[in-house]
Structure 1
Amino acid sequence: GEWRDIDAILAEVAGYGVRHVCVTGGEPLAQKRCITLLQRLCDAGYDVSLETSGAIDISEVDPRVSRVLDIKTPGSMEAARNRWENLPLLTAHDQVKFVICDRADFDWARDIVAEHRLAETCDVLFSPSYTQVAARELADWIVAERLPVRYQMQLHKLLWNDEPGR
């Protein structure tokens, strides 16, 4: 990446003529001025979402921002990074996302959703890991268990085979 001035980012976004802006890529909250960028985007009238790994405190994120928080499953080998203190901060316009690597991950995620009553707080998304779980298999598990979750495909991986920058 390259360093960008916030005013330059806002000008570029304005040039696209869009209403919704999603701040993502790596871990946006690891960038020093991400909180300021999110606030400035909201102030400019954009509908803003933040996709975050969930490993960094989200308490300073502008409440106008829809937070999409990953909860890393054991199969991702990153579950130790989950910042559970973020869960009570979620609201009805936020989402939590689980990328499911196998049946053990599915069972684990189902239990986390129930334990933390996530479906009562925000939208819960289950996505199949691109190379590890068949899309139909995960859909069948969700239907069989009647889970209160949304099924989500990692569309960028289907369309562009996880090509950087797409």
Structure 2
Amino acid sequence: MVQILSPDFPPLSRKIPSSAEGASLRVNEIFLSLQGETSRVGLPTVFVRLTGCPLRCGYCDTAYAFHEGERLSLAAILMEVARHGARHVTVTGGEPLAQKECLALLRLLCDAGYSVSMETGGALDISKVDARVSRILDLKTPGSGEVEKNLWSNVQYLTSHDEVKFVLCDEDDYRWAVEMMGKHRLDHTCPVLFSPVHGKLEPTVLAEWILRDRLPVRMQVQLHKLLWGEGPGR
């Protein structure tokens, strides 16, 4: 058995099942930063970035995670997460659900007492993700080049605990996102986030569209890029 230790959270000093030693994931990086997006923006968060993604969005800023990474046991991942001493954890990628053991990692993080979110591109099934995880479903717009990969059956599994994100390249993307939000009644299910592609769609322009159309959405900009520039940020 491996002990999780964290200076801030006595509830996290729980034992990890020995089965976590055998299971593993290919991990690109694990780091502490401020959450740059979603309703958790600004919160100190440990990011677990997994390797691999089936999508190739034109604006992707983490292409280095497509292939780079090392294989770590789930126990090693949990120990590294605990070392940072933060309450919030985000599992991201790449596309985290591209690796089947991601489901086990999410469950173990929840069992350990963390507040867990997962960022997924929307092309893979989310139905088996632990219900305690906040699933951030990034539905792909036409401007991404991957709109045909959206798995729309995922919408039926969303709850008020989850969030839907649209990353917008231009006004065509905006109009499409508004249409999809209405068609699937997304704003009646969970928070909906509209985000401009950094360096391509001016945030002020998107803000004006949202106000003009009285949309029930949360606009977001990528806080980490404002703080640390074009890289993924720390």
Please give the TM-score of this superposition, normalised by the length of structure 2.
0.69
Name which one, 1 or 2, has greater alpha-carbon Rg.
2
Alignment of 1:71-86 (within 5 A): 71-86=139-154
| Structure 2 counterpart of 1:144, from 209, 212, 219 | 212
- 1:22 match: 90
Q: Secondary structure at the match of 2:175?
A: helix
Q: Secondary structure at the match of 1:97?
A: strand
Unaligned runs of 5+ in 2: 1-68
1:103 aligns with 2:171: yes
Unaligned runs of 5+ in 1: none
| Structure 1 counterpart of 2:191, from 93, 106, 123 | 123
What whole-Å deviation, never above 9, does each CA across 1:31-62 have from its counterpart, x for those lacking one?
Answer: 12100000000000111000000110001100
- How far apart are 1:14 and its partner, in Å? 1.1
2:79 partner amino acid: A
Contact persistence 2:141–2:147 (CA under 8 A): yes
Mapped to 1, the partners of 2:97 and 2:230 lie a distance apart of 22
2:87 partner amino acid: R
1:62 partner amino acid: D
Mapped to 2, the partners of 1:134 and 1:61 lie a distance apart of 34
Mapped to 1, the partners of 2:169 and 2:82 lie a distance apart of 38
- 2:110 match: 42
| Structure 2 counterpart of 1:92, from 154, 160, 172 | 160
- How far apart are 1:165 and its partner, in Å? 6.5
- 1:8 match: 76
- How far apart are 1:110 and its partner, in Å? 0.5
Contact persistence 2:194–2:218 (CA under 8 A): yes
1:114 aligns with 2:185: no
Contact persistence 2:118–2:136 (CA under 8 A): yes
Identity of aligned pairs, percent?
60
| Structure 2 counterpart of 1:56, from 124, 129, 140 | 124
Mapped to 1, the partners of 2:108 and 2:168 lie a distance apart of 34
Instruction: From the two aligned structures, give the one with the greater helix fraction.
Output: 1
User: Which structure's relative contact order is higher, taking Cα pairs within 8 Å and 6+ residues apart?
Assistant: 2
- How far apart are 1:15 and its partner, in Å? 1.1
Mapped to 1, the partners of 2:204 and 2:102 lie a distance apart of 37
1:48 partner amino acid: V
Q: Secondary structure at the match of 1:3?
A: strand
What whole-Å deviation, never above 9, does each CA across 1:79-100 have from its counterpart, x for those lacking one?
Answer: 0111101011000010000011
